[in-house]
Structure 1
Amino acid sequence: MATISSLGIGSGLDLNTLLANLTTAEKARLTPISAAQSSYSAKLTAYGTMQSALQTFADAATALSSTNTYGATTATSNNTAAFNATTSAGAAPGKYSLSVTSLASSQSLVSATQASNTTALGATTTGNSRTLTISQGDGSKPLSINLTDSQTSLTGVRDAINKAGGGVTASIVKVTDSSYKLVLSANNTGTNSEMTVSVTGDDQLNNIIGYDSSTGTGAMTENAAAANAKLTFNGIDLERQSNTISDAQDGITLSLTGTTTTPATLTVTKDTGTATTAIQTFVDSYNALQDTFTSLTKFTATATNSDTADTTNGALLGDSALRTIQTRLKSALGAASGSGTITSLSNIGITTDPDTGKLEIDSAKLKTALTDNTSAVQTMMVGDGKTTGVMTNITNLNSGFLNASTGTIANAETAVNATLKTLTTQYNKVNDSINTTIARYKTQFTALDVAIQKLNSTADYLTKQFDAMSTSSSSS
């Protein structure tokens, strides 16, 4: 059977060009599917862009739904050599008198001098064991450590105590090349951290490192006594275990660093800067979100009777998810909450530009509201922190929009992914159909080429036969 190495050779016809044209025409069936895939892929990217902008806005709204934002205060000490202070929610603005009589300190015990820090100091026991117990007056569980005979040197005792990780730190002081002392230091200050050290099962070792803080007796010596901090706060005498005091006044934490000779002053003032900054961040992030909405829904009109949309149109033009988010946020911004003269954002100087839809701040009005009526601003913004309050409600909305499983954006992405999956299946099915059709065309064209080649060969043969017969007749 005759074969054809290249289409058209047998027939002389331009079958390759014809097949290429038919292939192009067939593949045009994929164009609308590819266009749809591109469109939906662009939607996914756009949802990601919208989610990022919305998350930034949500974070800003969350900050404004916290009571800490509005109750911020600043503490100033006029004697930083004696104390510093920080404030948190609940700190009442005002001036406080403070005198520090003494600072809290931790106890330290030191052993008698030993000639070596590695020689075992305990007795040789039958069970190769004794128990070192260190108890403190703070109510914590006593530190109970089992020591072998080889662990009774100063080094062994030090390492065993530190490894146990209790409220005591052990160290060794080298006095000279042949004299060493074991030092035990309470990790915390105050009389509740006083240490009582005992060794059961080895009187020899107990007579070297034992100590009873309740009687102040034992083999070790107290070289630093535990003491409590003593101070007078607004005329009230206080005593605390630590130099860091957070329970003297709600929202105020004192850090004592020295004593005073005359009363010092702690000044607590309102700090509207925290709320002002948070509100500016909120407004900026909302306006940026509006810019994102505008970009993603951009529309450019095309010529009348045009069948195609402008390629610069936003990927989410006409998208219901975006429209839902935009509409509900706009409504929440204008909602009222609380009572009295401050019930909405507009009452504190935050309004919407009717032309652009963006938020604007009247700085003077905002400052007055935060300075003169902080509580009312907080009530309007935060409400009960669950279902009332402008920012609380906006935060709740954002949580619904951004929920990774059931949120508005997540549901939209799920729908788009499902559509893309269907389009991929459709594309593959049509592509297979095209390949089958092109293969059939090629088979038919090859058969046509062969058939024409045969006909041409037959025609050539018959022509030659007729020419030969004609020549023979002429000769006779």
Structure 2
Amino acid sequence: MGVKTTTGIASGLDTASIVSQLMAVEKAPLTRLQSQLSTVESQISAMGKVKSAIASLQDAASAIATSSDLYTYTGSVADTSIASASTTSSAVAGTYSLEVDQLATNHKLKSSASIDTSSGGTLTIQLGSTASGSFVEKSGTSAVSVNVAANASLSDIASSINSANAGVTATVISGSDGNHLVVTSSESGETNQIKIDSTISGLGFDPDNTSSSENMSQVTAAQNAIVKIDGITIANTTSNTITDAVTGVTLTLKGTTGSGSTTQLTVANDSSGLETKAKAFVDAYNSARSTLKTLSQYDSTGSSTGVLNGDSTVATALNQLRSLLSTSPSGVSSSYQYLSQLGISSSNDGTLSLDTSTLETAMTSDFASVAKSVAAYGDAFNTLTTNMTNTDGLISNRISGLSTTSTNLNDRIDAMTRLLKTVQARYEAQFTALETLLSSLQTTSTYLTQQLSSLSKSSSS
């Protein structure tokens, strides 16, 4: 609201300065409102940081709130050349003897180097098994025909087979005696034997008549893996990846132990998973606490006083977090009722620390009880922090209240700004009228002075 009035010609007054000074007094309430708004907006921003910090703590607490999520396992095989093992949360700790007598293999055939394709022909490819004594087509599959053009090369035939999606792959190997067509089943196991009915001599294969001169040569037979765990033969091992033999364990077979020989499969609790999550919780708690303390701290000099100093919401949140640390929440194991027994302790300034040695000793002694107690504390903190940050929670309500205050202050500032424009316009109009009046009076005064002077001269003569 700039002052438009200039220095008074008639009055000699600096009316622009006078109006500015008058408006400075009028604007004092507006300045106070703007200062209040700035403070409220700073508080809203700070409460946003508080909510974010509490939400991060909630995430860390949620990660340890369910005991089953804390049960992670490692799987290992003593002889890594035989197999590798991976686990899921449903695994159970234990050791097992593992015997691998045979790996699952893909059926592989090769042709001779002298194949006559001059007349072309057709290849009919099927997958199946001869386990019943004769070839039986694999359930869910059907024969696929591949047309071979006259004088087609083996590479052309391989390309046609690969495009037919017959459950096999084909390639050509160049040997010293010429080119050989090699056909391999896409999947391993005895139900993936290849049968090829061919009108081209030397490109067929009949599993029921392997001695036929029309057959391709068998490079690798289609066979299942033969595996025993604790002496129990595992069924349906068509693949070298076995997922259903031991609950929660996936075995990837690499080699054979030989009949009667075994190696050891071990499934163990992975304490590092729980320890990592416990450390993340401690870090998140300390971060949240530091954020709340910094934003609400008091400094006698005023230079470092937090924008939320004296805010009851922050004080309440800090008290609730601190109080929960010293309680024994529902669901804890009787063996580990307090955080200190789990290696988590609070220093004089309220900061948490994790003694990994204490935690590891406890996990080694009784992993199940430790997991139960950690989950109980995680659930308690998850519930508390969720209640703080949800829509009608402690922190959200405070932010909502501050936002309402901000809206009201903005409305009052807008209304006062409009009023002050009217006040300034009135002052400027009044001083303009004053200048006009003084100018008129000065004109009248000059006229009267001139008239009196004329009368005086007339009387003298």
TM-score band, normalised by shorter chain = 0.7 to 0.9
- Partner residue, 2:350: 357
Q: Equivalences for 1:309-348 in 2 at 5 Å?
A: 310=302, 312-333=304-325, 334-336=327-329, 337-348=331-342
Cα distance change, pair 441–266 in 1 and its aligned pair in 2 (3 A):
same
Cα distance change, pair 445–105 in 1 and its aligned pair in 2 (3 A):
farther
Pick aligned residue for 2:430 from 444, 447, 455: 444
Give yes or no for contact 1:70–1:374 (8 Å, CA) kept in 2: no
Give yes or no for contact 1:7–1:445 (8 Å, CA) kept in 2: no
Instruction: Give the alignment's TM-score, normalised by structure 1.
Output: 0.76
2:363 paired with 1:370? yes
Q: Which one-letter code corresponds to 2:442 in the other structure?
A: N
Q: Which one-letter code corresponds to 1:35 in the other structure?
A: S
Pick aligned residue for 1:236 from 232, 239, 250: 232
* Cα distance between partner residues in 2 of 1:327 and 1:427: 37
* Cα distance between partner residues in 2 of 1:394 and 1:257: 46
**CA drift at 1:157:** 8.7
**CA drift at 1:448:** 1.6
Give yes or no for contact 1:69–1:274 (8 Å, CA) kept in 2: no
2:313 paired with 1:288? no
- Partner residue, 1:246: 243
Root-mean-square deviation (CA, aligned residues, Å) is: 4.1
Q: Equivalences for 1:182-221 in 2 at 5 Å?
A: 185-194=184-193
Cα distance change, pair 113–464 in 1 and its aligned pair in 2 (3 A):
farther
- Partner residue, 1:127: none
* Cα distance between partner residues in 2 of 1:396 and 1:167: 56
Q: 1:173-201: per-residue Cα shift (whole Å, max 9, x none)?
A: 3759xx98776544432234445678xxx
* Cα distance between partner residues in 2 of 1:25 and 1:312: 32
Cα distance change, pair 219–263 in 1 and its aligned pair in 2 (3 A):
closer
- Partner residue, 1:307: none
2:449 paired with 1:463? yes
2:444 paired with 1:453? no
What secondary structure, in the 3-state scheme, does the structure 1 residue paired with 2:86 have?
strand
What secondary structure, in the 3-state scheme, does the structure 2 residue paired with 1:351 have?
strand
Q: Which one-letter code corresponds to 1:401 in the other structure?
A: M
- Partner residue, 2:222: 226
- Partner residue, 1:13: 13
**CA drift at 1:15:** 0.3
What secondary structure, in the 3-state scheme, does the structure 1 residue paired with 2:63 have?
helix
Q: 1:221-250: per-residue Cα shift (whole Å, max 9, x none)?
A: 755433222223233333512222232223
Cα distance change, pair 174–15 in 1 and its aligned pair in 2 (3 A):
same
Give yes or no for contact 1:344–1:390 (8 Å, CA) kept in 2: no
* Cα distance between partner residues in 2 of 1:48 and 1:246: 47
* Cα distance between partner residues in 1 of 2:408 and 2:13: 41
Cα distance change, pair 110–149 in 1 and its aligned pair in 2 (3 A):
closer
2:253 paired with 1:256? yes
Cα distance change, pair 72–467 in 1 and its aligned pair in 2 (3 A):
same
* Cα distance between partner residues in 2 of 1:472 and 1:317: 87
Cα distance change, pair 434–349 in 1 and its aligned pair in 2 (3 A):
same
Give yes or no for contact 1:70–1:378 (8 Å, CA) kept in 2: yes
Q: How many residues align?
A: 440
- Partner residue, 2:402: 416
Q: 1:106-152: per-residue Cα shift (whole Å, max 9, x none)?
A: 234667889999x99679xxxxxxx98866689774479899999xx
Q: 1:30-56: per-residue Cα shift (whole Å, max 9, x none)?
A: 222212221221122212222332233
Which of 227-236 and 90-99 deviates more?
Answer: 90-99
Listed as ranges, the gaps of 5+ residues in structure 2 are 130-136
What secondary structure, in the 3-state scheme, does the structure 1 residue paired with 2:172 have?
strand
2:382 paired with 1:395? yes
* Cα distance between partner residues in 2 of 1:342 and 1:330: 19
Give yes or no for contact 2:188–2:239 (8 Å, CA) kept in 1: yes
* Cα distance between partner residues in 1 of 2:35 and 2:145: 77
Cα distance change, pair 13–369 in 1 and its aligned pair in 2 (3 A):
same
Give yes or no for contact 1:97–1:264 (8 Å, CA) kept in 2: yes
**CA drift at 1:160:** 8.4
**CA drift at 1:16:** 0.5
Give yes or no for contact 1:97–1:234 (8 Å, CA) kept in 2: yes
Listed as ranges, the gaps of 5+ residues in structure 1 are 124-130, 303-309, 383-388
- Partner residue, 2:78: 78
